[in-house]
A and B are shown apart, each in its own frame.
Chain A
Amino acid sequence: DIQMTQSPSSLSASVGDRVTITCRASQSIGSSLNWYHQKPGKAPKLLIYDSSTLQNGVPSTFIGTGSGTDFTLTITSLHPEDFAIYYCQQSYSAPRTFGPGTRLETK
């Protein structure tokens, strides 16, 4: 099975800040990497699929890059609604594992 790791595990930032979250796969997954965020009591929301493609309706402040084993999610300017837990997930092979999550909190 492919293992996913994320760093940092938590992050404090302010509205308007630029933040970056890193995700690493235990083996090459090409560009088969997806990003979600989840707010309390809600289902996760897909932000980016295939490493860099924005899901419909997701603002362009979200940027995904990477291929192979190393990926990043950058939020170029934080909005209040962006404070959430962020997960990466590989869709290269089953089981389609998730990373452990990065908690993005307001400073």
Chain B
Amino acid sequence: QVQLVESGGGLVKPGGSLRLSCAVSGFILSDYYMTWIRQAPGKGLEWVAHISGRDSNTHYADSVKGRFTISRDNAKNSLYLQMNSLRAEDTAFYYCAREGDYGGYPSWGQGTQVTVSS
């Protein structure tokens, strides 16, 4: 069955960097759009970035553009989010999700916590 498992979260100082990983199984990574979505404490869902399946086209939310990079390694069945120049407002629970064939995100990981604080 489809599984997504995030890792790499933690505590980092403002201005620091962190790399999140999402290990996937049960499907072919390159066949799907993959997305990072985050949720700040007590807040709603914020779409962060996605990468297309076939040609690795990427798109970012304005709030992270120029600081975050989404990438994928099909051979390792893994999705990544490189986060640089982190700010306090990046503190959130980060989920990876697979986009469905007809829209929406039917498959999510369990999430990983990122805390940006001095």
Which A residues are closer than 8 A to B by beta carbons?
Answer: 1, 32, 34, 36, 38, 43-44, 46, 48-50, 53, 55, 85, 87, 89, 91, 94-101
Contact A49 B62 (CB under 8 A): no
Interface of B is mostly: loop
The count of residues in chain B whose C-beta lies closer than 8 Å to any C-beta of chain A is: 23
Query: Dominant SS at the A interface?
Result: loop
Q: A98-B46, A101-B44 are in contact. Are A46 and B59 (CB under 8 A)?
A: no
A96/B102 in contact, CB under 8 A: no
B104 touches A91 (CB 8 A): yes
Structural contact, A32 and B59, CB atoms closer than 8 A: no
Q: How distant is the Cα of A89 from the Cα of B46 in the complex, in angstroms?
A: 10
Least Cβ–Cβ distance between B45 and chain A, in angstroms: 4
CB distance from B103 to the nearest CB of A (A): 4
